Structure formats: structure tokens, C-alpha cells
Amino acid sequence: MKNVFLLGAGASKSYDSSPTGQRMPIANDFFSTYSKLPINFDPWALKTKLLYYLNLRDGLDHLDLFDFNEDIEDLHSEIQIQAYDIIKSNKNNKSIREQVTLAAYYELIFLFIAGINQIQNGPISQTHLDLAKLVTNDDTIITFNWDTLMDRALMEVTDWNCDIGYHVNPLGVYRDKWMHTNITNSEMPRLLKLHGSSNWLTSYVTFEDGKEVPMQALSADNFFVYESTKKPYSAYAGRYMEGYTPFSYGYYPPNLQTEGRAAPKGLLITRIRPKNPFMREGVSDESGVISMPLIIPPVRDKKYDFYGNLFTNLWSEAEKTH
């Protein structure tokens, strides 16, 4: 008999073993939870543009997130609407407010996943282990959560793996280095993550002709998965953070070792990173294409089609399971 298990926010909220002492946040308590996490105090975890945006919007001096607890879905949706209007306008010379709004939109994605990664960076969830012990190779687990609590539990007690266990297959999996997915045995439960995952990666974005486009030369529905590492990996500015369990990483995920997007005809793509004398230096190199989490962020207007057929395939498969 085939069984389908549907996980909502409560499944993640049940995790009470985080070394941070915090539980997974929901929309209306994300910022109050994040403000208590160690990652909030790390200058590598960028939130300056977000704070600047709030300052411009509210006329208040938001020095940090300690006294701020707006619903993240409301805030991210608000910023998303403005960001996409700015992108569509296709202006070369953006105002300070426009630059801040665009940067705040992407900072929120990184900040959101950084909080999830730090909370889940502990022992494997007992609740999820108990569920994993019940599933068979014919079963499917469907989740709207971004965390990897279920992923770790499945890999611990079943034959599940992240090469083919998500139904949609990544181009590569990071295990101490980028590896091609070459596992063919499909006898395992399936984990369908309908809003993406904190360990799914894509390239950072750029803008062309009023559109948001990936920096990778590959089509947008090609993605990568982070599993684990024992040594520093290439990351933006070399900002690798150690001390994370499998399926979790610091603020910056590993760069992609793939070809970057070609510049439009007659133009040249350059990458300039001003050195901040007050910021500590990274511990690794920064080769490769800058990556970012591949998720459908907590916004009202969920833009699944940006990732080609990736989420179409996931939702179609989920519909077949009932």
C-alpha cells in the first residue's frame, strides 16, 4: 500500500533539540526568533540594506532586529512588489531607494535560510526519525517546509539519498566537493519539497532587459544540492563558516563550479568587491559562480515559473499521489 505523508509548519516547529535553544519560526515570529540566533551577530550575515530599507520606509533608526517583529510574509511581499517593478523599469541609473530595495529583497532570502540552517544545526530530529521509520520505499512525503529535518532523518534510517530522492534530480551534490549525481537505484521513499529547500542551490541573479535572470549559463530549472563538507569550500569572498551538520551551512553556500552566463553582445561582465577594512577576511577561496538558496520565499505572489519546469514537475507529481 502506498502512503502519502503531508508535512506542514507544525512538523518543523516540533524540533526542540537546536543548540540555539530556538524552534523553527513561523511567519509572525521570524524576526524575533532570528534576533536571538548567534548568526544575527555575525557581520558576514548581511542585513544592512534591509535595515536601511526599513529606515527609509518608517523613518525610524532600526539599528538591528531586536525591536522588530513584522510578519516576514507581509514584509517580503511588500519588498518583492517594489523590487519587480524596479527590475521591469530596466533603468541603468537606479536611485538609492531602488538599489536598497533590490538588495533588501535578496538579503531577506539569505537571512531567512541562514536562520533555518542555524536552528536545524543540531541532532537529527526525533520526530522526523520516528516518521522516517514508518515509511516504505513506496511512500511519498510532501512538505511545504524549507528545512532539511526530514531529509536528514530519511537518510539516517532508510535508503533515501539526495541525488534522486527529491523526484527532481540535481546536476550535482556537494560532498566535500561537487560530485555528479550517478546513483540509479530508485528504491526509496520520495520527498517532494514544493517550496524548495534550504540545501537546494542555484546561481545568484543578474538583470537583463527588465528581467531577473540567473548568473549560471544553465537553464533556470537546473539546480544543485548541498549535503555536507569536512573542509572549507569556495564561497562569496571566501566566507565559509565551519561547525555545521550535514544538510546545513552558514550564511553563504558553496559557489557553483559551472559556467557563468555570457555577457550581452557588446558588454563585459565584471565582478568588483570593495574590500571592507572593518570586516574579517574569509577563510577559503572564491572561485566559481556565486550561489544562493533555491526556495520559493514566503511571499504572496510565488513566482514558480522563474525556475522553468522545476516546480511544475514537483507539483504535478504531488497531484498524482492522492
Output the pLDDT for position 182. 72
Long-range contacts of the stretch 182-189 (C-beta < 8 A, 24+): 185/159, 187/137, 187/159, 188/137, 188/158, 188/159, 188/160, 188/161, 188/164, 189/132, 189/135, 189/136, 189/137, 189/138, 189/139, 189/140, 189/141, 189/154, 189/158, 189/160, 189/165
Of 196, 186, 134, residue with least CA distance to 165: 186
**What pLDDT, on a 0 to 100 scale, did the predictor assign at position 268?**
44
Q: 264 falls in which pLDDT band (50, 70, 90)?
A: low
d(CA 233, CA 174): 10
The DSSP H or E segment spanning 115 is helix 96-119
Can you tell me the distance from the alpha carbon of 107 to that of 50, in angstroms, rounded to the nearest whole number? 7
Tens-digit pLDDT profile for residues 227-252: 999 999 999 999 999 999 999 999 99
pLDDT > 90: what percent of the chain?
80
pLDDT at 69: 85
Mean pLDDT on 89-106 = 94
- Give 127's pLDDT tier (boundaries 50, 70, 90): very high
Sign of the torsion angle spanned by Cα atoms 204, 208, 212, 218:
negative
What torsion, rounded to 10 degrees, do the Cα atoms 160, 197, 37, 59 define? -170
For the question of whether the overall pTM of this predicted structure is more than 0.85, the answer is yes
CA distances from 244 to 18, 31, 213, 229, 248 (A): 12, 22, 30, 9, 6
Q: Which of 66-70, 91-95, 123-127, 279-283 holds the top average pLDDT?
A: 123-127
What is the average pLDDT score of the chain? 92
State the pLDDT at residue 261: 64
**Residue 80 scores a pLDDT above 50:** yes
48 pLDDT more than 60: yes
Looking at residue 183, its pLDDT comes to 74
Predicted confidence band at 217 (pLDDT cuts at 50, 70, 90)?
A: confident
pLDDT at 113: 98
* CA distance linking residue 268 with residue 265, whole number of Å: 8
CB 204 within 8 A of CB 255: no
Q: How confident is the model at residue 213 (pLDDT cuts 50, 70, 90)?
A: confident
- Please give the grid coordinates belonging to residue 122: 543540531
pLDDT of residue 269: 53
Nearest 5°: the CA angle 270, 272, 87 is 70
Residue 170 phi, psi (nearest 5): -75, 160
Q: Which pLDDT value is given to residue 308?
A: 94
